[in-house]
Amino acid sequence: GEDVEQSLFLSVREGDSSVINCTYTDSSSTYLYWYKQEPGAGLQLLTYIFSNMDMKQDQRLTVLLNKKDKHLSLRIADTQTGDSAIYFCAEMYTDKLIFGTGTRLQVFP
Amino acid sequence: SQTIHQWPATLVQPVGSPLSLECTVEGTSNPNLYWYRQAAGRGLQLLFYSVGIGQISSEVPQNLSASRPQDRQFILSSKKLLLSDSGFYLCAWKAGGPQYFGPGTRLTVT
């Protein structure tokens, strides 16, 4: 079945770049998404990329998509303490989202 | 603009009691609606989704049920709660674009 995998933890120093990686299995996915979840809150849509794109940039966020390897990454430039959260990637499959397990990003001073 | 509401925000219920969680969406018509459960602050499990009034698809067999009495209202229910029903319940909507999530309901079954 469809599966989305992410590493569980990432720790970075404030001001550095963070790169969160994700692999997915369904090559027919049309859109791939990144969501952010802060403690006790719902999921906030950060950005998404259409499957015919290789890269999308939105302010401090850069999404890279390697369709051949089914690999998606989210780069956060100049990471701040407010970026500490769990980040989920997700692929759209038959009108439903398949989520990864989430990567907990910890930013230290 | 579109807005999604969930209530209550937190709920503590004893085992065996009934449950009703409500989700409403404003500013869109005929959205797809979804219920997810998140345990221990981790992965999301899709419980139910609906593409229209009265149309409910169940993803995971369990003691929960869902109903969609109106176009923009989605209700999650249980007749008798189990300890394992504890978790963070998220409602989401989608109308031709990305899926957007509500603020969630924290349910603790004691």
| Residue owning tokens 């499990």 | B45
A95 lies within 8 A of chain B by CB: yes
Residues B45-89 have pLDDT tens digits of 899 999 999 999 998 867 999 999 999 999 999 999 999 999 999
Q: Both tokens of residue B82?
A: 């189990």
Decide the pairing of beta strands A85-93 and A103-108: antiparallel
Does B101 sit within 8 Å of A95, measured CB to CB?
Answer: no
Residue B78 near residue B14, CB atoms below 8 Å: no
Task: Check whether the bond before B98 is cis (ω within 30° of 0).
Answer: no
Q: Among candidates A92, B19, A88, A58, which has minimal Cα distance to A105?
A: A88
Give B44 to chain A, closest Cα distance, Å.
7
Please give the Cα distance from B59 to B68 (Å, whole number).
Answer: 16
Residues A81-97 have pLDDT tens digits of 999 999 999 998 877 88
Residue numbers in A near B98 (CB within 8 A): 31, 33, 45, 48
* CB-closest option in A41, A45, A88 to B98: A45
Angle CA(A5)–CA(B44)–CA(A102) in degrees, nearest 5? 40
Average pLDDT over residues B81-108: 94
If DSSP codes are grouped into helix, strand and coil, which group holds residue B104?
coil
Q: How many CB atoms lie within 10 A of CB A15?
A: 11
Residue A60 has pLDDT above 60, yes or no: yes
Residues B19-41 have pLDDT tens digits of 999 999 999 999 999 999 998 75
Does A100 sit within 8 Å of B98, measured CB to CB?
Answer: no
